[in-house]
Amino acid sequence: MKKKRLIPVLLLKNGWLVQSKSFSRYQNLGNPTTSVKRLSQWGSDELVYLDITKDSDYSLRRDDQNYPNRQTFLEIIEDVSKVTFMPITVGGKISKISDIENRLKLGADKVSLNSALINTPKLISKSAKEFGSQCIVASIDAKIEKNDYYVYNSKNSNIYNILVTELAQLAESLGAGEILLNSVDRDGEGIGYDIELLNKVCEKVNIPIIACGGVGEWSHFRDGLDKSNVDAVAAANIFHYQDQSVYLAKKFLHDNQMNVRKPDLIRL
């Protein structure tokens, strides 16, 4: 039986890794490669690395540390790919085929596409044909509105009049290989996944779903796997504040008979 995956999510904003809450408040966590190396050593199955920078400023404005002060996201991707052996999905500021090609050349294994699903859906189908569906992850941000789940626009904090289930079905029809499904309402809250959301989307599509948004303790990962049919459980904030966090999370899942790979520490 195919193993379920445990996936850390890292958010990059203006050159720094940040912690997010409700897609609106961000706390600086440090430089963009240290956490990647640590998560790889702890045995992460994969990594999702999302650039949420709204402008073109990636300078850390720090010359007093042993870390190169990069000026572009592509430079950061290249740095990150050198310190890990786990597959990396990269997202943010992808608007054309060449953007995808450049990220894959620099070491990304997959790309995550969000706004393209609505603004330029042909990019999804074209990139799936060009690079293969396994490289294309459709990222959907869901928010509760009018007693249902609608698509959230993080760029302007508005809600599209599009049901999340409908967009998920469109993503599959366009050739996306999997869906990163994030609950905006649960982002940074630490109260667990929105299981109803996960099940609604899982019932409508046949491609793998990565659950994200709301994890505050290891048991939330178990609940996501046990109470829904997702293929992977992902989280961001919980992995930043405890040594060997991925290893411990996977050990908890393994000890609770979840279908995950045996935890292991990797020495680079």
Residue 203 sits in a domain whose CATH number is 3.20.20.70
What are the helix (H) ranges across 83-239? 97-105, 116-119, 121-131, 164-174, 195-202, 218-227
Q: Is 107 helix (H, G, I), strand (E, B) or coil?
A: coil
Q: Identify the weakest region by mean pLDDT among 114-118, 157-161, 236-240, 263-267.
A: 263-267
pLDDT at 236: 87
Q: Which of 114, 201, 126 is nearest to 152 (CA)?
A: 114
pTM of the model: 0.91
Give yes or no for residue 235 having a pLDDT over 90: yes
> Is residue 221 assigned to a domain?
yes
Query: In this structure, what token pair is assigned to residue 49?
Result: 């690395």
Q: Yes or no: say if 192 and 164 are a contact pair by the CB < 8 Å rule.
A: no
> Is residue 192 assigned to a domain?
yes
> Is residue 265 assigned to a domain?
no
Number of domains in the chain: 1
> Is residue 164 assigned to a domain?
yes
> Is residue 80 assigned to a domain?
yes
> How far is it, in rounded angstroms, from Cα 28 to Cα 53?
13
Q: Identify the weakest region by mean pLDDT among 175-179, 247-251, 264-268.
A: 264-268
- At 174-202, the pLDDT tens digits run 999 999 999 999 988 899 999 999 999 99
Q: Which residues of 152-170 are buried (b: 16+ CB within 10 A; e: fewer)?
A: bbbeeeebeebbbbebbeb
Task: Please give the average per-residue pLDDT across 225-253, as a whole number.
Answer: 90
> Is residue 248 assigned to a domain?
yes
> Is residue 41 assigned to a domain?
yes
* DSSP code of residue 70: -
Give yes or no for residue 13 having a pLDDT over 90: no
> Is residue 264 assigned to a domain?
no
pLDDT-based confidence at 83, cuts 50/70/90?
confident
Host domain of residue 172: 5-255
Q: Is 134 helix (H, G, I), strand (E, B) or coil?
A: helix
Query: In this structure, what token pair is assigned to residue 51?
Result: 């650039």
